[in-house]
């Protein structure tokens, strides 16, 4: 009885397909990079971003925290990718092998 | 030489090939894909051609391959790609099969087809047996259940009052059993057992009731097992039934009705013991059948698995054979039917390859006579062929979508490689967006090989993938223009220090306090950051400018209230300059056509007045734009260039004081008058001399009948012409006269002239789309930032979602939607504004007979 339960558990963990997880990964990487850069720019009080904030130091910190959240989603999407890769592939050559045996 | 500037030179080649070598010759040429064969017997229908039997055989083989594919699909066996198949199986697909191989293949197919069909009939028969036995076993089981149930009810009959109708049935059943088994002295009660599709039961019951006047009794029970119909391969829910009746007449009637309802009737023994024995037998037979069925299925699967490995290469081979015979059908058969005569367009650069292929074919077919090849002189227009690689192919596609270049005409594609992405980028200028676009294109290029095999992407993905090098260049150019506009996701960056020194009188707001900021010495921004405030109503005055910003827009404009008042005229003027330059370039390219085709008349009567017309009006406008940029009107309103240009015509010879741009009053007026006179003189220059000269030349032609003979444009083929005409190929390039009627020539020239003059004005205005789209793009990305990103800066969780939304909208709206719109506008500027200055685009594309194209094009057919 144990193996089917385990399988069901694994299925429920993998909630993103291969395309979805890759897409989330790309967006997460972009989010981390861009929010870190934005955070630094707010910290050094770049003039172009003046219209966006009253307290640039606090906004800079907010950017870093949001980048942290995206680091979390990056980890999540990497896990999903891994699960997708480990998933047994469709039995593409199974029949051919059977016939040779 | 692989130049894209003009299409390759073509020759019409006549080949006289011995019949036994013809197949091999066409095969070799098909491998190379360098020759476009002409159909020499277009009047012959497809059924009357020489090789129609071979084509029919190929069709038959294709049908067989489709049948195998269907079988594979039914058995759910995947078909591997040709590349995945081990080499010793797939090797035969590397070169075209010989006629002997075709026979072998055909034999193999017949055998396989027979074997598969045999297996299938066997399997179907076994399946049918299996179905019947299963049904029988179910019937036996339910019969037993009926009678057992009936017996118990019979015993209970007297003691307990069971619910009415059912009770009656039960007692009747009991009687039936009694009658059937023991009833020597009662009337014989018989029964018929069978299986029937479940949904027919109610109707069946009603019909039975009517036909026997209520003298038959039906019991039925659903079969819970899935019974598959072997012919249709679908699961049919079934019920087993028992019909009880009295007498033989009724039996016959019941049987007939059951047959009419396509029920299967099974002989069911009367006694319980016999039924039990039969049950055992059926179980035994079912078991045997099961093992036989399993073996049959295994056998079938083995056969199909070997088919699956080879089927891709088979279908490629058949395509090749069929292509060869189709081509052979285009050939002329010599009267003695010893040789075939064919004509093909071959690019001159491939002629040596062609000769090599012919000698190889002679060797392979062990023919004693080599094919005879000679180049024909012809007045037929050759097809257009550009030698391309994967980078230039995308740009050539853009041009070909408008019209394939006429033979040896100047090709706009090599210029589009630079101008197309550049004009796109003028409209799409943003460093961030350009960077993302270039990154996406880089990804497509980097994973080029795996993506080329990816087939599930659909048409949209294929379009993007096909244009990956165009997208890359568009992205890179957008990075460049984005830096010039100083836009990175609509924000500016100060790399080199602003060139503006805003004086201290600027009003600033700090919290609730409104006052005047301190001095900003040299660096404008330090003061601002210090005050954490913005100067409201910052109207930049040119007087505050200390030096020019090193590259592109000064970042200070991002904060100025009069930003758009500065940016819009700047971009508008830029658009006009770019437009006039591109149109002038187009007209100049026309000269290369005129000199190449020796149309001296066109240079004098079209090119020179066209250039003068454009330069006198819009060239002058461009000069005025530069002059106005270079100069500075500190205390008065600068003259409007557009009004000046209009007044140049409306107030000919005079000038308003506010229009004065340079020099003394008289100087500008005189120069402008002179320009207007030159431009207006260009109109009759374009209109009159060319038709006049053409008509005169035609009249002279009419007196010389020799020339008329040449003008027919017919093929100078045949034996007696062949030898001396190799040198005459050059003459075939001469243009055919478009029309000879004087009226037509005049009307044509009128349309041409009017089109050009009006076109100059409307096309210049059309280039203003560069400014309009660039403005729209910049404003849209700024609105997106202000509405979405700005809302999230106060709170990290909110920022997480705000950035996600912003990133999604940036991709969907700014990159894809805006990108497509800018792409279409750039396309239009090239097709209409640029190409109509010189490009005919009336050619036809070179379609060589090539196996590669045959195999690739399998989906298109």
pLDDT tens string B9-68 = 999 999 998 888 889 899 999 988 899 999 888 888 888 888 888 899 999 999 999 999
Half-sphere exposure for B25 (CA within 13 Å, toward CB):
30
**CATH classification at residue B363:** 3.30.70.240
Q: Is A98 touching B (CB cutoff 8 A)?
A: yes
* A34, A61, A99: residue with CB nearest B302: A99
The answer to the question of residue A45 being in a domain is yes
Query: How many structural domains compose chain A?
Result: 1
- B755 and B791 in a single domain? The answer is no
- What's the CA gap between A4 and A8, in Å, rounded? 6
The answer to the question of residue B514 being in a domain is no
Please name which of A43, A40, A31, A37 lies closest in space to residue A67, comparing C-alpha atoms: A31
State the pLDDT at residue B764.
Answer: 95
Does the pLDDT value for residue B413 go beyond 50? yes
Cα–Cα distances in angstroms (integers) from residue B781 to residues B278, B484, B488, B490, B810, in the given order: 83, 16, 10, 6, 8
Cα–Cα distances in angstroms (integers) from residue B683 to residues B611, B673, B686, B691, B857, in the given order: 12, 16, 5, 14, 50
Does the pLDDT value for residue B731 go beyond 60? no
Q: Is A23 touching B (CB cutoff 8 A)?
A: no
- B449 and B378 in a single domain? The answer is no
pLDDT tens string B520-562 = 433 344 334 444 445 556 777 777 777 888 888 888 888 787 8
Task: Give residue B823's pLDDT band: very low, low, confident or very high (50, 70, 90).
Answer: very high
- What's the CA gap between B829 and B764, in Å, rounded? 10
Please name which of B23, B596, B116, B736 lies closest in space to residue B323, comparing C-alpha atoms: B23
Instruction: Tell me if B785 sits within 8 A of B810, measured CB to CB.
Output: no
* B306, B525, B803: residue with CB nearest A99: B306
Chain Cα centroid distance, residue B507? 59
pLDDT tens string B440-468 = 999 999 999 888 888 777 888 988 999 99
Instruction: Tell me if B257 sits within 8 A of B211, measured CB to CB.
Output: yes
The answer to the question of residue B70 being in a domain is no
| Interface mutation vs chain B, best among A40, A99, A100, A101, most B CBs within 10 Å | A99
pLDDT tens string B159-210 = 444 344 344 444 444 444 444 444 444 556 778 888 888 888 888 888 888 8
Query: Within chain A, how many helices (H) and strands (E) appear?
Result: 4, 0
Q: What is the rounded average pLDDT of the residues B400-427?
A: 94
Instruction: Tell me if A59 sits within 8 A of A42, measured CB to CB.
Output: yes
Chain Cα centroid distance, residue B251? 67
Contact list in A for residue B790 (CB cut-off 8 A) is 51-52
Q: Which residues lie closer than 8 Å to B284 by C-beta, 6 or more apart?
A: none
pLDDT tens string A45-62 = 777 777 777 778 889 999
Q: Which residues lie closer than 8 Å to B417 by C-beta, 6 or more apart?
A: B392, B395, B473
State the pLDDT at residue A15.
Answer: 77
- What's the CA gap between B45 and B39, in Å, rounded? 12
The answer to the question of residue B456 being in a domain is yes
- What's the CA gap between B500 and B545, in Å, rounded? 4
- B365 and B481 in a single domain? The answer is no
Please name which of A14, A10, A68 lies closest in space to residue A36, comparing C-alpha atoms: A68
Half-sphere exposure for B74 (CA within 13 Å, toward CB):
15
State the pLDDT at residue B495.
Answer: 81
Give the containing element (helix H, strand E) for B228. Answer: strand B228-229
Percent of chain A topping pLDDT 90 = 37
- What's the CA gap between B591 and B606, in Å, rounded? 10
- B637 and B750 in a single domain? The answer is yes
First vs last Cα of chain B: how many Å apart? 34
Instruction: Tell me if B192 sits within 8 A of B254, measured CB to CB.
Output: yes
- B789 and B749 in a single domain? The answer is no
Half-sphere exposure for B634 (CA within 13 Å, toward CB):
3
- B627 and B754 in a single domain? The answer is yes
The answer to the question of residue A17 being in a domain is no
Cα–Cα distances in angstroms (integers) from residue B195 to residues B46, B131, B268, in the given order: 54, 11, 12
- B351 and B410 in a single domain? The answer is no
Domain boundary among B385, B402, B426: B385
- What's the CA gap between B614 and B607, in Å, rounded? 11
Identify residues of B whose CB sits under 8 angstroms from chain A CBs. Answer: 75, 77-78, 80, 301-302, 304-306, 308-309, 491-494, 525, 528-529, 532, 534, 555, 558-559, 786, 789-790, 792-797, 799-800, 803-804, 807
State the pLDDT at residue B523.
Answer: 38
Does the pLDDT value for residue B673 go beyond 70? yes
- What's the CA gap between B58 and B261, in Å, rounded? 45
ipTM, two decimals: 0.81
pLDDT tens string B233-279 = 778 888 888 888 887 788 888 888 888 888 888 887 777 788 888 88
* B80, B494, B786: residue with CB nearest A47: B494
| Interface mutation vs chain A, best among B443, B787, B793, most A CBs within 10 Å | B793
Half-sphere exposure for B695 (CA within 13 Å, toward CB):
14
Write out the E strands in B482-630: 507-510, 513-516, 534-535
Write out the E strands in B72-216: 189-197
Half-sphere exposure for B818 (CA within 13 Å, toward CB):
28
State the pLDDT at residue B154.
Answer: 58
Could you say which DSSP state residue B50 is in? T
pLDDT tens string B300-333 = 888 888 888 888 888 888 889 999 999 999 998 8
Percent of chain B topping pLDDT 70 = 84
User: How many inter-chain contacts (A to B, CB under 8 Å) are there?
Assistant: 86
For residue B219, give the 3-state DSSP assignment. Answer: strand
The answer to the question of residue B822 being in a domain is yes
Instruction: Tell me if A25 sits within 8 A of A81, measured CB to CB.
Output: yes
The answer to the question of residue B536 being in a domain is no
Instruction: Write down the mean pLDDT value for chain B.
Output: 82
Helices (H), B767-838: 769-784, 790-792, 796-809, 818-828
The answer to the question of residue A94 being in a domain is no
- B621 and B743 in a single domain? The answer is yes
Residue B247, sorted as left (phi over 0), alpha (psi -120 to 50) or beta, turns out to be left
Give the containing element (helix H, strand E) for B241. Answer: strand B238-246
Instruction: Tell me if A39 sits within 8 A of A60, measured CB to CB.
Output: yes
The answer to the question of residue B508 being in a domain is no
- B754 and B609 in a single domain? The answer is yes
Q: Which residue has the tokens 């050094």?
A: A44
B796, A31: Cβ pair inside 8 Å? no
Give the structural domain span for B359.
Answer: 1-43+329-385
Give the structural domain span for A64.
Answer: 22-87
Query: How many structural domains compose chain B?
Result: 3
For residue B230, give the 3-state DSSP assignment. Answer: coil
The answer to the question of residue A8 being in a domain is no
Task: Give residue A87's pLDDT band: very low, low, confident or very high (50, 70, 90).
Answer: low
Does the pLDDT value for residue A83 go beyond 70? yes
- B744 and B644 in a single domain? The answer is yes
Task: Identify which has the larger pLDDT, B504 or B554.
Answer: B554
The answer to the question of residue B556 being in a domain is no
Q: Which residue has the tokens 């055989």?
A: B57
Contact list in A for residue B461 (CB cut-off 8 A) is none
Of B169-173, B366-370, B375-379, B664-668, the range with the highest mean pLDDT is: B375-379
> B422-455 b/e with 16+ CB inside 10 Å = b?
bbbbbbbbbbbbbbbbbebbeebbeeeeeeeeee
Q: Is A59 touching B (CB cutoff 8 A)?
A: yes
Instruction: Write down the mean pLDDT value for chain A.
Output: 76
Of B78-82, B161-165, B179-183, B622-626, the range with the highest mean pLDDT is: B622-626
B789, A52: Cβ pair inside 8 Å? yes
Cα–Cα distances in angstroms (integers) from residue B857 to residues B319, B450, B461, in the given order: 11, 20, 18
Does the pLDDT value for residue A13 go beyond 80? no
Contact list in B for residue A76 (CB cut-off 8 A) is none
State the pLDDT at residue B163.
Answer: 42
Q: What is the rounded average pLDDT of the residues B208-222?
A: 82
| Structure-token pair, residue B788 | 């979405």
Contact list in B for residue A63 (CB cut-off 8 A) is 793, 796, 799
Taking the C-alpha atoms of B755, B758, B764 and B765 in order, what is their torsion angle to the nearest 10 degrees? -120
- B343 and B407 in a single domain? The answer is no
The answer to the question of residue A14 being in a domain is no
The answer to the question of residue B340 being in a domain is yes
- What's the CA gap between B300 and B298, in Å, rounded? 5
Could you say which DSSP state residue B633 is in? -
- What's the CA gap between B698 and B683, in Å, rounded? 24
pLDDT tens string B733-770 = 444 445 568 889 999 999 999 999 999 999 999 999 99
pLDDT tens string B53-63 = 889 999 999 99
- B606 and B744 in a single domain? The answer is yes
The answer to the question of residue A5 being in a domain is no
Please name which of B96, B657, B53, B162 lies closest in space to residue B360, comparing C-alpha atoms: B96
Half-sphere exposure for A12 (CA within 13 Å, toward CB):
6
Q: Is A92 touching B (CB cutoff 8 A)?
A: yes
State the pLDDT at residue B416.
Answer: 94
């Amino acid at each position: 009885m144990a193996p089917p339960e385990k399988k069901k558990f694994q299925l429920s963990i993998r909630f993103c397909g291969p395309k979805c997880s890759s897409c989330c990964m790309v967006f997460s990487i972009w989010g981390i990079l861009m929010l870190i850069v934005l955070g630094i720019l707010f910290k050094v009080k770049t003039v172009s971003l003046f219209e966006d904030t009253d307290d640039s130091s606090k906004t800079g910190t907010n950017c870093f925290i949001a980048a942290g959240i995206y680091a979390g989603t990056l980890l999540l999407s990497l896990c999903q990718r891994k699960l997708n890769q480990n998933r047994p592939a469709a039995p593409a050559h199974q029949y051919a092998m059977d016939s040779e045996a | 030489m692989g130049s894209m500037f003009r299409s390759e030179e073509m020759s019409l080649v006549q080949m006289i090939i011995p019949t036994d070598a013809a197949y091999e010759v066409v095969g070799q040429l098909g491998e190379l894909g360098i020759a476009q064969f002409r159909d020499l017997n277009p009047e012959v229908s497809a059924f009357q051609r020489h090789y129609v039997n071979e084509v029919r055989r190929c069709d038959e083989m294709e049908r067989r391959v489709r049948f195998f594919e269907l079988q594979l699909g039914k058995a759910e066996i995947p078909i591997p790609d040709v590349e995945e198949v081990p080499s010793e199986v797939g090797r035969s697909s590397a070169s075209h099969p010989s006629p002997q191989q075709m026979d072998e293949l055909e034999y193999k197919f017949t055998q396989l087809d027979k074997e598969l069909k045999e297996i299938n009939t066997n399997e179907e028969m076994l399946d049918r047996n299996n179905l019947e036995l299963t049904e029988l076993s179910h019937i036996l089981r339910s019969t037993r259940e009926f009678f057992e149930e009936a017996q118990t009810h019979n015993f209970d009959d007297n003691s307990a009052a069971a619910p009415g109708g059912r009770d009656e049935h039960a007692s009747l059943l009991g009687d039936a059993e009694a009658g059937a088994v023991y009833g020597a002295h009662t009337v014989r009660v018989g029964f018929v057992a069978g299986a029937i599709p479940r949904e027919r039961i109610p109707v069946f019951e009603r019909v039975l009731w009517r036909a026997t006047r209520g003298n038959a009794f039906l019991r039925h029970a659903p079969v819970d097992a899935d019974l598959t119909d072997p012919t249709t391969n679908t699961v049919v829910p079934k019920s087993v039934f028992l019909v009880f009746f009295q007498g033989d007449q009724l039996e016959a009637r019941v049987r007939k009705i059951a047959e009419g309802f396509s029920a299967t009737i099974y002989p069911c023994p009367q006694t319980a013991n016999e039924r039990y024995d039969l049950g055992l037998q059926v179980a035994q037979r079912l078991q045997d059948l099961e093992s036989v069925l399993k073996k049959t299925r295994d056998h079938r699967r083995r056969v199909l698995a070997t088919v699956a490995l080879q089927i891709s290469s088979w279908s490629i081979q058949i395509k090749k054979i069929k292509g060869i015979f189709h081509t052979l059908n285009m050939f002329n058969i010599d009267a003695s039917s010893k040789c075939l005569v064919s004509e093909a367009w071959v690019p001159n650069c491939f002629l040596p390859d062609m000769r090599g292929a012919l000698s190889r074919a002679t060797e392979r077919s062990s023919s004693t006579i080599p094919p005879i090849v000679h180049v024909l002189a012809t007045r037929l227009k050759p097809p257009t062929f550009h030698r391309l690689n994967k980078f230039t192919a995308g740009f050539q596609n853009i041009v070909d979508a408008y019209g394939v270049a006429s033979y040896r005409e100047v090709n706009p594609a090599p210029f589009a490689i630079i101008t197309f992405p550049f004009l796109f980028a003028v409209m799409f200028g943003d460093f961030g967006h350009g960077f993302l676009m270039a990154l996406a294109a880089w990804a497509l290029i980097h994973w080029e090989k795996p993506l080329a095999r990816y087939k599930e992407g659909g048409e949209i993905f294929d379009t993007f993938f096909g244009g990956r090098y165009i997208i890359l260049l568009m992205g890179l150019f957008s990075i460049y223009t984005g830096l010039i506009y100083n836009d990175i996701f609509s924000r500016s960056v100060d790399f080199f220090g602003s060139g503006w020194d805003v004086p201290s009188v600027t009003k600033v707001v700090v919290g609730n306090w409104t006052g005047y900021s301190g001095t900003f010495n040299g660096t404008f921004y330090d003061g601002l950051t210090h005050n954490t405030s913005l100067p409201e109503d910052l109207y930049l005055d040119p007087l505050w400018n200390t030096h020019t910003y090193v590259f592109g827009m000064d970042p200070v404009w991002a904060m100025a209230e009069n930003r758009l008042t500065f940016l819009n005229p700047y971009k508008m003027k830029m658009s006009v300059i770019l437009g006039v330059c591109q149109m002038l370039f187009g007209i100049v390219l026309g000269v290369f056509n005129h000199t190449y085709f020796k149309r001296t008349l066109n240079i004098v009567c079209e090119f020179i007045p066209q250039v003068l017309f454009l330069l006198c009006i819009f060239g002058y406008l461009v000069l005025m734009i530069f002059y106005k940029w270079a100069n500075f009107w500190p205390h008065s309103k600068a003259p409007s260039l557009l009004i000046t240009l209009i007044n140049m015509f409306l107030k000919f010879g005079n000038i308003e004081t506010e229009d004065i741009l340079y020099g003394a009053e008289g100087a500008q007026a005189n120069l402008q008058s002179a320009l207007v006179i030159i431009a207006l003189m260009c109109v009759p220059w374009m209109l009159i001399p060319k038709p006049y000269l053409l008509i005169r030349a035609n009249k002279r032609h009419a007196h010389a009948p020799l020339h008329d003979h040449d003008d027919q444009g017919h093929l100078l083929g045949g034996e007696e012409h062949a030898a001396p005409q190799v040198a005459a190929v050059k003459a075939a390039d001469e243009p055919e006269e478009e029309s000879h009627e004087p009226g037509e020539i005049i009307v044509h020239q009128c349309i041409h002239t009017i089109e050009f003059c009006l076109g100059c004005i409307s096309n210049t205005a059309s280039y203003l789309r560069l400014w309009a789209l660039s403005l729209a793009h910049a404003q849209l990305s700024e609105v997106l930032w202000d509405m979405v990103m700005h809302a999230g800066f106060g709170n990290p969780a909110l920022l997480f979602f705000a950035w996600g939304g912003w990133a999604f909208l940036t991709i969907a709206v700014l990159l894809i939607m805006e990108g497509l719109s800018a792409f279409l506008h750039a396309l239009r500027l090239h097709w209409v504004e640029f190409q109509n200055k010189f490009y005919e685009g009336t050619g036809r594309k070179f379609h060589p007979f090539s196996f590669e194209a045959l195999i690739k094009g399998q989906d298109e057919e």
